[in-house]
Structure formats: structure tokens, C-alpha cells
Chains A and B, each alone.
Chain A
Amino acid sequence: MASIDPIISVQRLTKKFGTFTAVDAISFEVMKGEIFGFLGANGAGKTTAMKILIGISRPTSGTATVAGYDIYKETEQIKKSIGYMSQRFSLYNDLTIRENIEFFGGIYGLTQHQIRDKGEALVEKLGLQDNYKRPISDLPLGWKQKLAFSIALLHDPRIIFLDEPTGGVDPVTRRIFWNMIYEAAHRGVTIFVTTHYMDEAEYCNRVSMMVDGKIEALDSPGRLKDKYGVTSMNEVFVRLARNQTRGKDA
């Protein structure tokens, strides 16, 4: 359940690469337990902004705190407080389910004991007991994504960052995945998600729309649709993103 306490707080965050301003003085807050959709066209600056928030890229200027930690000085604490999964990188294909759980549990600093207990609970909940010792590569994509999401939550992070988590996944699994997101949000985990599926934008409590490095709109899907006088988030997206100048040039 979303509260009114910000867990991510961003003020005039900027990232420049040479003369190119990838992220241009963005400011926003994400509340605890909120499902926050971070939208934008290809090249709008989403990935750059996300890298700063998860503590792996240093901004040029501006301030931000994530889970109460400063993005300049406390990146290690940030990394311990968050989970991350993306479509491109989630789990190691050549490792078994068990090895992946041990590996990621270890990285996030869980004890052997915790890894075993939490790992067993996770595998049981997903119904993957029979596949525990099989390599990840044997699993269908949808299962991999569900498992990756569960593993990213293994260390009980306060925030989980999801970068296009459902690309290419079949429609039923995509929705089961979203039910898992709702469940995590219900337990108080904050969800920060990017997606190109505009029906998924509707599932968010609030969404921001980045255009050319700036946040051009930020509100609930319902209010954004009212504001632009349209009936779907797809139309909101097209209305805002078609003004983008980046990506039009090579």
C-alpha cells in the first residue's frame, strides 16, 4: 500500500556525457509501497537515470536519496537496500536454480542459513522443486522472469527496480508476473518499473514520462488521461513522446 513517505527523493538530477545532457534536472519523489512507472521513448534518458538511482553511475549535479541513502556517498548501502532485475540481465543461464539462489543470496550478504531457508521457501512457492538442480537455460522465459523477480526480492529489499521485466513474455505469464508485483507492493515493497507495454503503465499508481532527458508529466494514469483528454496511456505516451527530438537524429 502506497504511503505518503517518500522512499526515493530526487532533486534536479542531471547527467551529462560531454556536451550531451542525458538526464536534464529531473525532480520527483516515489512513495513507500508505491508502484511507480518510469516511462519514456527510446533515448529519453530512463536507463541513465535508473543507473544513478541504483548506485552504479555518478550524476553530474543534483541530489537524490534512495531508501534514505545519498547517491553520491552511500552507494553501497543503496545497493544493499534494493533489488534489480531487467529483461537483458537477470540470472546466470549455466547455473542451476539452486546455484543462482546461492550466488545472488551471497552477493546480497545473506548467511548460508538464510539462503537455504529463503531459497527453499521461494522454490516451493513457485512450484519449481523438481527443477531445483536443473540449469536455468532449461526454463521457459516466463518462468525465468518469475524466478528472477523472486530472487531479486530474496534479501527483503525496500525497493525493487524492474527494467522492462516482461518484454517478449506470453500474455498469461506477463499478468501472473504483475500479480507478483502487486503482492510485493502490498507487503510494502516499493516498485520502480520501466515498460514499453502501455497496458502495464495503467497498472502503476503513478507514472512519469521522460522526453529528451526531462520529466514532462508525472501523475496517476487516470489523471494523465483526463488531462490530455484521451482514453488510454498509449495515447498519453504518443501525445508526449512525439515531441521528442532525440533519436530522430542518428
Chain B
Amino acid sequence: MEIEIENISKSFGDVQALDSVSFDVKAGELFGLIGPDGGGKTTLFRILTTLMLPDSGHAVVAGHPLTDYHAIRRSVGYMPGRFSLYPDLSVEENLNFFASIFGTTVEENYELIRDIYVQIEPFAKRRAGALSGGMKQKLALCCALVHKPAVLFLDEPTTGVDPVSRKEFWAMLDRLRQDGMAILVSTAYMDEASLCDRVALIQQGKILTADTTENITATFGQPLFAIRTRNVYGVTLDIQTYPFTQSIYPFGEYLHYTDKREKADPNELQRFLRDKGHTDIELSVIKPTIEDAFMALAEKEL
């Protein structure tokens, strides 16, 4: 295990940011910490990178306990959510700076960053502050990797990034994992869960579950229907008056419906909607996505 987290808790005043968090990440594993803003993701990253102490609990990172912060800091790479490089230094100067504080050189570990660095190399002399968002992100990743860390922490690297750049970023992570690095990455985008080996779902400081996405969705255990209609708003209002409705939410081009009962007949709902005057309903029984599972688990928790 490259990261072992055991019952970590942290409060700020009367706000409990982390509530007895436990999970672990193996070498060569791409592990996603998935949940909304304010869930506690950044606080956990700060604790694991030794920038903050937990109130209680233990963690071992790259073989070292949290108290051995010198050793942990040498062994991990950390890309915080906010751009954290020196805007007045050039691309090249930033990279050399981060290499030198870790007592290494860019040349020594060039192999690891080459694929990413070649994309920003044409701008090596440009000030980091003058780079576009996507390029800043690539430089920050290079700086986090330049000392060849055993464990890589990436805090919301894809927030506010468009779908094309997100896709490219995840492809880079996939290559790094193959080199045996343990990667813990946080995101608020549920669809990125499927790109991770395992995920932990976090909300309001609590881990709702930690497992592979397949295993998480397999525990859903409620009837789930997808409904397609042109009148999304009208159907939503009418389904809210159906006595067995657990939830009705828009999901892309569909509405997802969950039923309070253990078993439900889709034809019954279809008839109910027809009686309400909805004649264009396409209704099918579907398998849950990770987002369905997150929503169901989050509602149980509240």
C-alpha cells in the first residue's frame, strides 16, 4: 500500500470537515476521490501531504507515518487545486526550481515528464503567468512529477476544464499509472469515476463507499427506470404525485426514476403517465451509473 488512511478526522470550529475517513491506495493504482465542493477532499489532501495535522486517526504515505513529514514530502508530488507555480518565472525556470528543491535535475527524470513536457516546451521561455489554462495545468503536473514521486496527489485537476482537455489529462494519468506510481486524484465530475481503478465517494466529510465502480453500482438495489419525453418539466411534476416515487431527476436526455418499493412494474408507471396525458413516454429499466449510486448513498446519509 502506498497510502493507508485510518479513521482520519478533522474539524474547523464546529464544522466537521472529515469524519473518520479510511481507505487505501496501492502502487500502480489510479484512485479517485469523488464528491462535491465542501466535501472535505482538499482537507484530506492537505493532511496526507503533511501540510495540516488531523485531529485524530492515522495515515501512512509512501511507507512513512504522517509524523515523518520530511520523508513524506520527499516522496510525494502534489498538484493543488489552485495554480501554485511562480507566475513571474518562466516555464523552464519553474521546472528547474522544483527539481532543485528536491535535489534533482530535470534531465535525471526527463523520461517521466517527456510526454507532457514536449507539449509546453515551445513556450519554455514564457512566464508561467502568461500561459493558457490548459498549459498551466500541464506545467503544474510536470513540476509535481519532476522528482519522480512514489505517490502523486492531484486536487481537482480538471475543475473548470472543458471536456476535450479533461480527456487529454486523464490519458496522461493513465500512462503514469502504468509506471507504478500511486495516484490519488479528486474530482467533482462523477463521469470521471469510470476512468479510475477504484473510487471513494465523499460527501460532507464522510466516505459513503470505497470500491470499484462496478461493485458500487452493483449494490444499488432499487428499481431504476429511464424515461424519455419532450415534456421533461410536466412529467417531473406529475411523477412527484405518483405514490411510489423515491426520486425523479434529469439525467442527460433522460429522466431517472427510482421507486420506493423493492420491485416495481414499469408498465404501471407508463399507465400512470398516460392517464396524466403524456403520450410520448419511452420507458426502460436500466442499470445505475456511478452518479445514480452516489445520489442514492448521499440521500441515505442525510
A250 and B130 in contact, given A42-B161, A142-B36, A167-B160 (Cβ under 8 angstroms): yes
Residues in chain A near residue B130, CB distance under 8 A: 250
Contact A199 B251 (CB under 8 A): yes
In whole angstroms, how far apart are the Cα atoms of A248 and B158 in the complex?
A: 16
In whole angstroms, how far apart are the Cα atoms of A26 and B163 in the complex?
A: 22
Residues in chain A near residue B160, CB distance under 8 A: 42, 164, 167, 196
Residues in chain A near residue B134, CB distance under 8 A: 42, 247-248
Within 8 A of B (CB), among A98-143: 140-142
Contact with B along A212-250 (1 / 0, CB 8 A): 000000000110000000001110011001101011111
Contact B37 A169 (CB under 8 A): yes
Total residues of chain B contacting the partner, CB 8 A: 41
Contact A41 B253 (CB under 8 A): no
With CB as the reference atom, state the residue of chain B lying closest to A172. B295
Contact B252 A199 (CB under 8 A): yes
Contact with B along A159-190 (1 / 0, CB 8 A): 00000100111111101001100110110000
Q: Does A70 contact B (CB under 8 A)?
A: no
Q: Does A203 contact B (CB under 8 A)?
A: yes
Q: Does A43 contact B (CB under 8 A)?
A: yes
Name the contact of B164 in the complex, choosing from A173, A221, A232, A238 (C-beta under 8 A).
Answer: A238
Residues in chain B near residue A197, CB distance under 8 A: 189
Contact A182 B236 (CB under 8 A): yes
Residues in chain B near residue A178, CB distance under 8 A: 250
Contact A141 B163 (CB under 8 A): no
Q: Does A202 contact B (CB under 8 A)?
A: yes
Contact A170 B253 (CB under 8 A): no
Q: Does A56 contact B (CB under 8 A)?
A: no
With CB as the reference atom, state the residue of chain B lying closest to A186. B233
Contact B165 A42 (CB under 8 A): yes
Residues in chain B near residue A172, CB distance under 8 A: 249, 295, 298-299
Q: Does B180 contact A (CB under 8 A)?
A: no
Contact B37 A237 (CB under 8 A): no
Within 8 A of A (CB), among B139-177: 159-165, 167
Residues in chain A near residue B167, CB distance under 8 A: 238
Q: Does B102 contact A (CB under 8 A)?
A: no
Name the contact of B123 in the complex, choosing from A140, A169, A250 (C-beta under 8 A).
Answer: A250
Contact B298 A170 (CB under 8 A): yes
In whole angstroms, how far apart are the Cα atoms of A247 and B164 in the complex?
A: 11
**A131 → chain B closest CB, angstroms:** 15
In whole angstroms, how far apart are the Cα atoms of A192 and B144 in the complex?
A: 38
Contact with A along B32-56 (1 / 0, CB 8 A): 0001111100000000000000000
A196 and B161 in contact, given A185-B233, A203-B250, A222-B253 (Cβ under 8 angstroms): yes
**B139 → chain A closest CB, angstroms:** 9
**B33 → chain A closest CB, angstroms:** 14
In whole angstroms, how far apart are the Cα atoms of A237 and B167 in the complex?
A: 12
Residues in chain B near residue A241, CB distance under 8 A: 162-164
Listed A/B pairs (8) with beta-carbon separation below 8 Å: A41-B163, A141-B36, A169-B37, A170-B39, A172-B249, A178-B250, A182-B232, A198-B252
Known: A168-B159, A170-B35, A175-B250. 12 other contacts (CB 8 A): A41-B162, A41-B164, A43-B133, A168-B188, A169-B37, A173-B36, A199-B251, A199-B252, A203-B232, A237-B162, A238-B167, A241-B162
Measuring CB to CB, which residues of chain A are less than 8 angstroms from any residue of chain B?
40-43, 140-142, 164, 167-173, 175, 178-179, 182-183, 185-186, 196-199, 202-203, 221-222, 232-234, 237-238, 241-242, 244, 246-250
